A and B are shown apart, each in its own frame.
Chain A
Amino acid sequence: MAALLAQLLLTGLATGAIYALVAIGFSLLWQGSQVVNFAQGDFVTLPAFVMLGVMGYGLPLWVAMPVALLVSLLVLGVLFRRVLVQPMLRHGVMPLVIATMALSIFMENAMKNVASAEAYPFPGLSGGIDLGPLFLDWQSAVTLLSAVLAVLALHLFLSRTRTGRAIQATAQNPAVARLLGINVDRMILITFLINAALVTLAAVLISPAYLVKFNNGEAIGLTAFCAAIIGGFNQVRGAVAGGLLLGVTETFAATFGPDQYRAAVPMVLLIVFVLFRPQGLLGRREERRV
């Protein structure tokens, strides 16, 4: 029993680490430029399809990955900001929120038309290593390791480098940041690029297990929202905590609870948190802005 629990914990943490990556990107965009990105889940599906497309030419995954990263940085980072966010922000947050919903519909149906409604397999790592009662499969191990490294690198970047601190300052108060001589526009662009990189990494890690399908983004996006809110919206640490918590809870619920309600776990947790702890696990209460 203890071995089973440990095994589930491991699987849950690996899944949760991927949710955390997507949730961090979501939180960063929210903090950096008030963008509530309802297409965040589809942002994970797009690089997965790009990689499949590149591999379709007989190229290996390690070639496809940088190509997908480049496409993501360009399309989900620069273009998303220039074409959608910037022209829309002057109208306020609400039209932008609705526009990201329309973007989600657009992306899902475009991917469906190009790639059909089929679920495509994605190369991952097979096998693993026996650690006594515990079986550590390579895929989970690599997933956990790369997610931890990514979060660590991001954390160090945001807290230790000049640019990182400028990004944080921009997120906290753009007006003051500008007065201090920070190039606010560039900082926000970097935030978008970080998000694009995070979703690409998430695509590499999640696709072997979830396969690649045009509407996968719905479930991934929903879980990432929940993770961001449960963890505490205004913190990167919060998104990590929320992602891990959701990954573990979901894995346990799927094993011991009714399978058809697996998708309900993040939703119920979300409602419970909004009821009893709206600022999330690690978040601070948001103050009103005039």
Chain B
Amino acid sequence: MSHARHAAVLGAALAALVLAGLVSFALQPYGIYLLSLWAVYTIAATGLNLTLGYAGQVSLAQAAFVGIGAYTTALLMPHGVPFGVSLMLGALGCFVLGLGLGFPALRVQGHYLAFVTLALTTLAFLVMRNETWLTGGIGGISNIRRPAGFASGRGYEFLCLGVLACVTLLAWWLLRSPWGRAFMALRENPMRAASLGVDVRAYTLLAFAIGAALGGVAGALYAPLVQYIEPSPFSLDFSLALLLMVVVGGSGLFLGPFLGALVAVLLPEWLRFLQDYYLVIYAALVIVLLALCPEGLIGLAERHLFRRKGRA
């Protein structure tokens, strides 16, 4: 990709954030909540995109990492720990857990990371549900306060967008650094990258751990957003939903998670008349999209535009 195109992608991402901020002035509280949720999902999906889209490994643990971030914030803030610190601690915890889990799983070829992360999500869910002394069990934790100065719906949305902006810049810098370029080489052809001296396992592991940390950041934002957490949003279903967000938008594309999260937030609202059939139809649409164009909606749009240009 050329420099200009890289810059254009970053510009588009930041423009989307500014737009989300401006639009909120015309929205009801529920719309503002949806936009905040979009920002949270985008952060989690961007983390997953590092693992899935760039390192080419399926992770089913993103829901668990979001859960760990959310519970860390919910548990620490009442003890006077500032929001920023608990966010960092949650992210750090996820990073370390990601390293510990990814290290053995990535020694083996194949889809071992998928299975190990599947196990982690199930285990984390059981701990959240059963360890009532810590997590409140199925009763959950209520009255999670938002940090001072960001208590209103719009204020908190700006905080979410601000954190998303930081994450965007970080991910953009990461992927353009020499480190990131080695990373892309890895995705294109792991064997060739290895023969050129790229330590495939170390890069994949680091991608997974950074992705996990971003899951933690998303969780830290999620808890004060909804102000009440319990185990069920962090089950395997949410991991699958996040994976689908990445592939719907376009896995391995910088803007993919932005679009995928938008679809995941808005589509259920628009298709509310489908009621219980929503997930059936959504899942079927995703399968069709994958069969037609595995690069997701952005890939589909690019292909279409390119073809137009070619004809003209």
Contact between B107 and A278 (Cβ–Cβ < 8 Å)? yes
The B-contacting residues of A in range 206-257, CB under 8 angstroms, are 218, 222, 225-226, 229, 233
Which B residues lie within 8 Å of A97 (CB)?
A: 58, 111, 114
Q: Is A8 an interface residue (CB 8 A)?
A: no
Of the stretches A63-71, A102-110, A126-134, A149-157, the one at the interface is A102-110
- Knowing A218-B236, A274-B112, A286-B109, the reply to whether A99 touches B122 (Cβ < 8 A) is no
Contact with A along B54-71 (1 / 0, CB 8 A): 001010000000000000
| B interface bracket (residues with beta carbon within 8 Å of A) | 35 or more
Indicate which residue in A95, A103, A106, A278 contacts B294 across the interface (CB closer than 8 Å).
A95
B residues bordering A, Cβ < 8 Å? 52, 56, 58, 101, 104-105, 107-112, 114-116, 118-120, 122-123, 126, 129-130, 191, 236-237, 240, 243-244, 247, 251, 276-277, 279-280, 282-284, 286-287, 290-291, 294
Query: DSSP majority for the B interface?
Result: helix
Residues of B within 8 A of A99 (CB): 286-287, 290-291
Residue A112 CB within 8 A of the other chain: yes
How many A-B Cβ pairs are below 8 Å?
118
A258 to B284 alpha-carbon distance, docked (Å): 39
Residues B115 and A229 in contact, CB atoms below 8 Å apart: yes
Number of interface residues of A (CB under 8 A): 44
**Is A98 engaged at the interface, CB distance under 8 Å to the other chain?**
yes
Pairwise interchain contact B240-A105, C-beta atoms closer than 8 A: yes
Residue from A112, A260, A275, A286 within 8 A of B104 (CB atoms): A275
- Bound-state Cα–Cα, A267 to B110, Å: 18
Q: Nearest-CB distance from A91 to chain B (Å)?
A: 4
> Is A278 in contact with B112, judged by CB distance below 8 angstroms?
yes
What is the bound-complex CA distance between A288 and B251, given in angstroms? 24
The dominant DSSP class at the A interface is helix
A residues lining the B interface (CB < 8 Å): 36, 84, 87-88, 91-92, 94-95, 97-99, 101-106, 109-110, 112-113, 218, 222, 225-226, 229, 233, 258, 260-261, 263-264, 266-268, 270-271, 274-275, 278-279, 286, 288, 290
| Max count, chain B CB within 10 A of own CB: residue among A109, A225, A233 | A109
Question: Assuming the A-B contacts A94-B56, A261-B126, A274-B105, are A226 and B283 also in contact, with contact meaning beta carbons closer than 8 angstroms in the complex?
Answer: no
Q: How far is the CB of A39 from chain B (nearest CB, A)?
A: 10
